[in-house]
Structure 1
Amino acid sequence: MSRPVLDAAGPVVVLVVTWNSAPVLPGFLDALPAGMKGLDWRLVVADNASSDDTVAVVRAHAPEATVVETGRNGGYAFGVNAALRAAAPEEGGYRAVLVCNPDVRMAEGCAAALVEALGAPLPDGSRVGVSVPLLYEEDGSLVHSLRRKPSLTRALGEAVVGNRRAGRFLRWSELVTTPAAYTGRTCADWATGALMALSRECVDACGPWDESFFLYSEETEYCLRARDLGFATRLEPAARATHLGGDSRVSPRLWSLLVANRVRLYRRRHGLAATAAFRGAVLLRELSRAALGREPARAAVGALLRGPQSPHEV
């Protein structure tokens, strides 16, 4: 699928991973032409064995799209990699990749602003390899999508103070809540993966997404890996989108997976003693919320106490 070319550097691949996404896909596809305005683009959808009409919806609403039926629900990174493989053989390659959740609604010109931001040199010698938009909830409220890298002090700050209040301080939360951070082109260690543009150079340097993370922390791992290779993640405030998601806030299963994968990722980059301390700080946070009767926190406590069970758990 493509639109008139304003930049001859190659098309932008719009990459979407779906799993039982039929209810949200029509809105995503309807918003896509305006969101991609000004770019030559094509759509690649990797479907992880949906049991609903997801594939039929894509083929009806976007007949020119490339649909990859992966055959199983192997997780988000698994789907991303399947879509990237499908995009790679195209003659001439591609300029950039736009990784999207199907419950994202891009504002007009969103993608062009994100892609234009890629490759910009930064004072520390790195370049922008990942650009992200301002994200909004369905009610219009701003999503705090920027994040700092995980650390023990940040896990403790979130446990004691709460991530939103602690987010105003550099050392005390992964979540960035400082208002000024969302008014300009702010670099972050990583960002929410609902919508992100990746330069071709970044994709080539980083290689496949880490499929050991079934869901959650895969974008964290990818952004941190990109940063290690000299590709920064930066907010582009000229790009805007609405995100309809939020299941992890209410689903015990999803929340426990999110929390467990935070510890798994930390363990990848730190020693056993540091990881034990980090796990303890995360456990303290979830215990305090479980004591208030929050079922997702209770599920997270169980996952943390069980320890490593499978590639999909801590």
Structure 2
Amino acid sequence: MPTSKIPATDRNMADNTAADCSVFIVSYNTREILARCLEHLFASNSGISMEVFIVDNDSKDDSVDMVRERFPQVILMPMDWNMGFARANNAAFARSTGEFVILLNPDAFVEPDAIAQALSFMHEHPKAAACGGLILDDHGGKAPSARRFPTSFAKFCRMWGLADRFSGSPIFDKHDYRNSDLSQPMQVDWVPGTFTVIRRKALADATLFDERFFMYYEETDLCLRLQRQGWEVWFVPSVRVMHLGGASAKTVKKDFDSSGSQVSGWRLRSEYLYFRKNFGLAAVLMHAGIEISRHWVRIFLNSLRKGEEAARKKTDSRRKAQLCQEALADTGYGSVSPKVPW
């Protein structure tokens, strides 16, 4: 297994003065998109003392050389193995000084004054541990930005079509806050790590990110722990960020779910780890059972039909049911994290 030793950064901070914020970008084979991300980031900075860390998880596309040549102001942390999202952010935290930490995906582009507005909000709300902004897709459409904690009932309603059939229902359509007024700041369960501002003290009090999560569910788990400690999490719609989605995940030669811009097997592993850690074995079995049973029903129904589309759906569901079973086995029903990298 690769060593967890963290290599030295390309440069040290010029002095010991704390920055207003520390931006963490975890990159893996995102060279060109990462360059755009950094261009937007530095263009948005208006008088803010900002230190930018890039933790490169052993990219093979010359991302490290690009950053060294084009963005010498960045604090670069090149790794010789892929340590995942949680470990990478924890490594950057150990070297950072900012009063606030900003998680930023390499395929996310902040709009002008987004960071200034987010920091202003955090200063005005001392009980806020974290806040996130309005995430837009590359066509300007609104992407899920204010999130509810996942539950087995919400998963059942979503997978079996009840959330869509009864859209707007306060009972069946509670997967996210899509029926809420998102034009004003509001407290939410969690916000995506695409762009998240976190108070340094709160993150330290929560003992950082749980490193059993290689990718996915890290921010969900963190927000749950923060709120259990009495902190607040907020959605701030005036803070706008464009997100392409899945830039690193698309470079992984595994089962990629384009609808969610995720590697399906990794998502399932983290899902089961999250539920076992926070809610016990019964929650894992319930959550997995909902998804597996849905796929087997889909297999049965499409077995009664003819044609290429029915065959495709049957094959797709068979593979997804298999991924669920593999993830349960790989994680010991959510009790252990598989060897890193996944």
Q: Which TM-score applies when normalising by structure 2?
A: 0.78
Change (3 A) 1:20 1:86: same
C-alpha distance after superposition, 1:257-291 (max 9, x if no partner): 21332232111111322331222123344556676
Change (3 A) 1:184 1:100: same
**Residue equivalent to 2:175:** 174
- 2:40 is aligned with 1:31: yes
- 2:236 is aligned with 1:236: yes
**Residue equivalent to 1:279:** 288
- 2:117 is aligned with 1:113: yes
Change (3 A) 1:220 1:297: farther
**Residue equivalent to 2:323:** 303
**Residue equivalent to 1:161:** 161
Amino acid at match of 1:99: L
* Bigger shift: residues 33-42 or 204-213: 33-42
Give the conservation status (yes or no) of the 8 Å contact 2:185–2:237: yes
Q: How does 1:142-221 map onto structure 2 within 5 Å? A: 142-161=142-161, 168-172=168-172, 173-178=174-179, 180=181, 182-221=182-221
Length, aligned pairs only: 298
C-alpha distance after superposition, 1:34-73 (max 9, x if no partner): 3332411011111111111111111122102111122210
For residue 222 of structure 1, give the secondary structure of its aligned residue in structure 2. helix
Give 1:9 shift: 8.1
**Residue equivalent to 2:258:** 250
Amino acid at match of 2:257: R
Give the conservation status (yes or no) of the 8 Å contact 1:158–1:285: no
Amino acid at match of 2:323: A
Kindly report the root-mean-square deviation, in angstroms, between the aligned alpha carbons of the 2 structures: 2.8
Task: Output the CA distance in 1 between the equivalents of 2:265 and 2:165.
Answer: 22
- 2:70 is aligned with 1:61: yes
Give structure 1 regions of 4+ aligned residues with deviation exceeding 6 angstroms: none
Give the conservation status (yes or no) of the 8 Å contact 2:291–2:321: no
Amino acid at match of 1:155: K
**Residue equivalent to 1:19:** 28
Structure with larger Rg: 2
Task: Output the CA distance in 2 between the equivalents of 1:214 and 1:135.
Answer: 23
Give the conservation status (yes or no) of the 8 Å contact 1:167–1:174: no
For residue 135 of structure 1, give the secondary structure of its aligned residue in structure 2. strand
Task: Output the CA distance in 1 between the equivalents of 2:229 and 2:179.
Answer: 27
Change (3 A) 1:253 1:109: closer
* Bigger shift: residues 189-198 or 32-41: 32-41
